[in-house]
Amino acid sequence: MKIFLDSARLDEVRQAVDWGIINGVTTNPSHVKTAGGNPSEIYPEICRLVSGPVSIETIATDAEGILREGRALAAISDNVIVKVPVIREGIKAIGMLSAEGISTNATIAFTPLQALLAAKAGATYISPFLGRLDSAGQQGVELAKQIRTIYNNYGFKTQLLTAAIRHPDHVLQSALIGADACTMAFPILADLYNHHLTDQVLHQFLSDWEEVPKWKGGPYGD
């Protein structure tokens, strides 16, 4: 499963790249607002920092506008994925962008049928918003499972990218159902490394090592 960072903050992108763990980045208009800079500088810089796919969202709500914006965004860098909402005009635009060989991320998906339409239009990724569905009293993971089943049934190449991840268990469930990718905020990414027993046992090993005779000229630099 590919791991994407869901952020437009350059400090977070730099840190995650330094950890060597992320395969790409997803942005959205709210993330750019939070990042606080100008998208004309933020987007190219993220694309430079990250070698994998970088999703950048369109703002237009008509197919021609989305197509125009999508072409311009795709011109920023080879690794841009044009993010398009799964509204009727968006699905139409995904078909047009796809016909031009431009990769797309069909976003803000809340039903398996939206995902079916996005796949039929040739979307590269589908982004179901798990956490937001949970907040609405439904099961985000169930949606992701249904999309996985539909895509497997018909051999769609569209990649399942779970989004609006709220906790590490969403990441675990995504991996268990065979999501192709999962995008998460920086604190959740950081949390994936953690277990208190790991810290406890490591501390014990290091403290016991203090009692071991020094190995002069050995690999530990003693």
Residues that bind ligand E4P (CB under 6 A): 6, 26, 28, 30, 107, 127, 129, 131-132, 163-164, 183
CB 65, min distance to ligand E4P, A: 20
Is residue 83 annotated as part of the catalytic site, yes or no?
yes
CB 156, min distance to ligand E4P, A: 19
Question: Which of 33, 83, 120, 145 is flagged as catalytic?
Answer: 83
Up-side HSE of residue 176: CA atoms within 13 Å toward CB?
A: 8
Name residues whose C-beta falls within 8 Å of residue 222's C-beta, 6 or more positions apart in sequence. 214, 215, 216
Nearer to ligand E4P, 29 or 99 (CB): 29
Nearer to ligand E4P, 95 or 128 (CB): 128
Nearer to ligand E4P, 146 or 183 (CB): 183
Place of tokens 């995504």: 174
How far is residue 178's CA from residue 173's CA, in Å, rounded to a whole number?
9
CB 28, min distance to ligand E4P, A: 4
How far is residue 131's CA from residue 156's CA, in Å, rounded to a whole number?
24
Q: Tell me what percent of the chain is helix, strand and coil, each rounded to the nearest 5.
A: 50, 15, 30
- Active-site residues: which are they? 83
